[in-house]
Amino acid sequence: MRQQFQTLEEIHRVALTKLDDVIVDYLEGGAGDETTIRRNRSAFEEWEFQPRVMSGLSSPPTATTFLGLPLSIPVLTAPFGSDTMFHEDGQKAVARANQAMGTVSMVPEAGSFSYEQVAHAAPAAARIAQLHPAGSDENFLRLLARISAAGYSAVCVTVDSPTGGWRERNRRNALEFDSSIIGGNYNPADRDQMEAALGQLFTHVDNVWSWHKLSSLLDDFELPWIAKGITTVADARAAVDAGASAIIVSNHGGRQLDDVPASLPALVEIRSELGPGVDIALDSGIRRGSDVIKAVALGATAVVLGRSAVYGLTADGQRGVERTLELLTEEMITVLTLLGRGGITDLNHEAMRRVPR
């Protein structure tokens, strides 16, 4: 039977037809003049492949691990919140798709469903829980305890969101979020806690968190933690020194501060600084399988799929996310075969070179 979608671009196009214009702006838009969104994509054009022909290889393996978690392909789905705005099953559908495909979900704090609900929907995939260093110490520790009890394997701390970005599309549209789509981890009695912890995402609030405070609160936590939102060598080193077991090089898809480094060149610099001993995921700008191959060759252990996962979810729920991951896998295998490399874990800088200027 012919699959419903044949390309990722087709999934993208269908998804946008299902959303109101205001939600399209929220999804597609970014901070400021949206310069960083454009740079995230153009950065991939600055690198070209160096294939080895007549390699005698076929069907190269795509499997790898991230923080010890097995991945059929080097892809994690992003912890995007407001998920039922795109499909009624939201992150539960995303997690089920990951479970079917052998990949891993990063489950958001500001999602429509609780950590426990998503873990129950797909326990093999809901392995990383995301939260924000915000609100009271007590609420942060309470969420950590719930994450551990729900069976997660790691925590992702989003460190680049002390407040929401200056997103002019949202301002023009007077976009507001109902608590039902971002408050899955908070019941009505916890509304004050939710507003204190998540209010910073949409308004300017006092934020007194630091690496020292974050490290102190995570000191006795038994699970490894990941710092998400790193774009500089200095912050990468600070995260590792604070106890992070892995980092995610990310500018939040260009949605927070505009005119910051594109994620791909930031990855190259950070990998050079940290060496091979730290798992690093690349977030922001991934749109196709060849992007994943470039990211891994340039130092990423895995990539984080944000907007593309949302497109799949919007287009066809769980099946749309599965098809997104299938198409990524098919393209990655094609590219690896034509590159003449043995598989994902064999990739390195030798497979790439900068485009001559």
* Among 184, 13, 31, residue whose Cα is nearest residue 110: 184
- Among 12, 120, 252, 349, the active-site one is 252
12 is catalytic: no
How far is CA 60 from its chain centroid?
25
Radius of gyration of the chain (CA): 19
**CA–CA separation, 95 vs 122, rounded Å?**
6
Beta bridge partners of 248: 228, 281
- Which two structure tokens, joined as six digits, stand for 203? 């308004």
* Among 186, 205, 199, 197, residue whose Cα is nearest residue 137: 197
- SS3 state at 355: coil
CB distance 62 to 73 below 8 Å: yes
- Which two structure tokens, joined as six digits, stand for 241? 């020194």
**CA–CA separation, 7 vs 190, rounded Å?**
43
CB distance 217 to 141 below 8 Å: yes
Residues acting as catalytic residues = 252
